[in-house]
Chains A and B, each alone.
Chain A
Amino acid sequence: MKKKIVLSILVGLLALLFIIPLFLTVSNSFMEPSQVQNQYENIFQNKGSEFSGLKFIPDWISLKQYYQVLILKTNFLKMFWNASFMVVPIILGQIIVSTFAAYAFAKLKFPFREQLFYLYILLMLMPFQVTVVPNYLIANYLGILDKFASIIFPGVFSVFGVFLLRQFMQKIPDAYLEAAKIDGANHFQIFFKIILPLSKNYIASLGVLLMIDYWNMVEQPLIFLKDVSMHPLSLYLAQVNKDEIGVAFAAATIYMIPVLLVYLYAENYFVEGIKNSGLKG
């Protein structure tokens, strides 16, 4: 019992280290703008001898930073929407494309299935910088550079969804499919009436993982979108200047809300998704 308490406290302290930056961002977003300015203006000075500590709890709770972000400086809000306009189509598109393909890879037999799937895995494990060169060449050729489409298409066809859903769908017993076949169902009926309803949770898992991954994208907009006003907030926040440091905390907090909500309501889907990304079978 004593050992359990000591261990729990140790792990708890460790856990604290993992949420402190999140806590600080949120708490600083409720600071009076003038206080933020005073607190952190040293950061933007060149090599002085004044140092800025991190402020854990603001002296006064204030919503002024939020007022600025939401009402006055709408460029932050626009970049929030930029992110949504790219992320939502990627999630929906990838889910649609991958459910079909995953069903085929998991349950249907066709020539070169294994070789093709091996190719998919290879592609999945390639770092972004490997596939970005081909992506750039083709976007240039199709004339979609500097448009959201140049980010959305490679996202929709990213192979991760196929891989993850296949892992899940392999767990669906073949007996279900055999029974449906005996009843005279064709493959489309099996797909829509049996596979899809059984895959609801799996698709939710994929959706959560994609949301969290793409909400954090930096590399793609950096290369494909030269127009800064089209960038998502994830790329802009770290480049704020001296006058914006106050609003940046509020913008950063607003930008976290969608993923935090998803995590809060769908943590289990997230964890299941990670577990099944384990390459077995």
Chain B
Amino acid sequence: MKSKINKKERWIGFGFITPSLIGQLIFFFIPIMMTIYYAMINNPMSKEFVGFTNFITIWDNTIFIRAMKNTFIFTGISVSLIMVLSLGMAMLLNKPLFLRNIFRSCFMVPLIVPSASILMIWQVFFNFNGTLNNIVTSFGFDPIDWMNSAYARWIVVLFYVWKNIGYDMVLFLAALQNIPKEQYEAASIDGANKWQKFYHITLIHILPTFFFVFIISITNSFKIFREVYLLGGEYPYEDLYMLQHYINNLFNVLDYQKLSVSAIYMAIFIFMIVLLWRKVEKKLDF
């Protein structure tokens, strides 16, 4: 049912969002235009308009390509892993367990504790002279410089999953608890097995949440820069050098063109995923 909008009410709505809107204009919308502008000029001195040239020439930059590649690999691995694991953990926690609420609280601890406060422990653990090598060498193997090896990427994936799984788990758990119990009972009567019940009831009900968790996990995966930076500084091991490092380091040299172009590429990537998700959501809306 749609109620009529009288003319006064139109402006009252705007009145309430004005403080927020002004902030958005000054701190986001207008500067985003500036970003697009900077992406399309040759340099801040002569300010000559060069169209999309910067968007093409950046692909000649090997560091940019490496950063792009690493970001995609990391996001691909870590997002698929966290989706499966968090759903699994939510299903475990949805079963009758002793101390269930305490366990749930434990899973969220990494989410709330500031990364810097606990990264020292990770450092001691994976350092060349650290705990893991202490264990490895006691079994007679050679020590490995974990954070500067092919393992580094997986250690960061591990940290991402450890840090963020609580968030996804809470979302999945809420979705699981909303599924009517009768549906499972009815399916049992009809002779459905565990896998059929999971596929036809659980998965169908949590599908909308599934896509939302997908988006949140992607945006969270970009936040891993924080921990990688704290562990490895501005130039970590080459497998860990991501688009966020690239953008961060460009601030030191104030290369506005490359900064803006990289930010816009990142924005386009997120925009496409949001579009995809809106499409999927409309289809699911039955």
- A residues touching B (Cβ–Cβ < 8 Å)? 4-5, 7-8, 11-12, 14-22, 24-25, 40, 42-43, 45, 47-54, 96-98, 100-101, 103-105, 108-111, 113, 116, 120-123, 125-138, 153-154, 156-157, 159, 162, 187, 191, 212, 215-216, 218-219, 222-223, 233-240, 245, 248-249, 252-253, 255-256, 259-260, 262-263, 267, 270-271, 274-275, 277-280
Contacts and interface: CB of A to CB of B under 8 A. Distances in A.
Interface residues of B, number: 100
B32 to A, nearest CB: 5
A249 B115 CA distance: 13
Give chain A's interface secondary structure class: helix
A43 B109 contact: no
B103 A238 contact: no
10 contacts: A5-B98, A51-B130, A54-B124, A128-B222, A134-B32, A237-B117, A238-B116, A238-B231, A259-B113, A280-B208
A123 to B, nearest CB: 6
Nearest to A41: B129
B78 interface: no
Nearest to B232: A238
B226 A157 contact: no
Interface string B249-264: 0010000100110110
A104 B92 CA distance: 40
B64 interface: no
Contact of A234 (B24, B103, B115, B267): B115
Nearest to A255: B117
A12 B103 contact: yes
Interface stretch (B15-23, B49-57, B188-196): B15-23
Interface of B: 3, 5, 9-17, 19-21, 23-24, 26-28, 30-32, 34-35, 38, 89, 92-93, 95-99, 102-103, 105-125, 127-131, 133-134, 137, 143, 145, 162, 166-167, 170-171, 174, 208-209, 212, 215-216, 219, 222-223, 225-226, 229-231, 243-244, 247-248, 251, 256, 259-260, 262-263, 266-267, 270-271, 274
A223 B38 CA distance: 19
Nearest to A186: B12
A252 B19 contact: no
